[in-house]
Amino acid sequence: MITLVVKDRSPLLGTLRASDNNHSEPWVEFTALGHEVLKLWQGIPNYHPEIKMLRLCIMPDHIHGILHVTQPLSCHLGNVINGFKKGCNDITRETLGEVLWEPDYHDRILSGKGQLDAMFQYIGDNPRRLWIKRTTPEFFTVHRDIAVGKRRLAVAGNTFLLNYPLKTAVICSRSMSNDDIDRAIYQHLVLAQRGYVFVSPCISPGEKRIMRAVFDAGFPQIVLLENGFSKMWKPSGAQFDACHRGQLLLVAPWEHHSQRTTITREQCLELNAIAQEIVAMLTLD
């Protein structure tokens, strides 16, 4: 999959529209430039017949394209993408006096089981997700200075859950048996039906299974994260729709990092302590 971003994130390629009689979901109406980009992308196999174009999603300020290389390329894939970008940039230099795209591009090889179908679904759902973010921005904004006790934390999602009067922490020992976890799931679902919001870092198997059961049943929850929010953070998959419904709040006590690390015992203890502090909160600063 190839992703290209318009320079300065300018919405030059199209306009997001609401669903209507002809569109069951929000959609992007292409500008004249957007149509030109579509033509140039579809024309890539004319120059590189070893490439098959599978899908293209044009958003106002970026594109996602999925292509299939059917046999070894005669040149590097970067040369193919740069040739496409040059064709687009030639058009915008004449009309706008500047290039269209940001430097470079992002690529991802889809080789794992189910990855291609998942990416088809993801890029096809882009207009709907953008519409949701624009109509409910409060649930997709990272607030980086929220007071929890003496701490200042970053949060994203339904911040009103912090003020909810009925909250309980889900903190489980790693030694819990599967039968113990099953019983705990039933008990927590009963509490959920009584109106409780659950707070957990979802570290141990018991915590993960309980919070997953609560989540799948549609009840609200607050999840603590070991990794913080990146500059371009956005929820993905089921978490996106949960944020839209106001079902989820994500809490990050630490800054974002790109390293693959194993959570330490000290971090686990601190996350559990924060969960207890959130449960004790009555008002949001």
List the domain boundaries for the chain: 2-134, 137-280
- Which residues, 6 or more positions from 60, have their beta carbon under 8 angstroms from its beta carbon? 6, 11, 12, 13, 14, 15, 16, 28
Cα distance between residue 13 and residue 30, in whole Å:
6
pLDDT average, residue stretch 38-46: 97
Architecture of 137-280 per CATH? 3-Layer(aba) Sandwich (3.40)
Q: What percent of the chain has pLDDT over 70?
A: 99
* pLDDT score for 27: 96
* pLDDT score for 285: 41
* pLDDT score for 132: 87
Asked if 274 contacts 148 with a C-beta cutoff of 8 angstroms, the reply is yes
pTM over 0.85: no
* pLDDT score for 183: 96
Top CATH class of 2-134 equals: alpha beta
* pLDDT score for 282: 58
Please state, rounded to an integer, the average pLDDT across all residues of the chain.
92
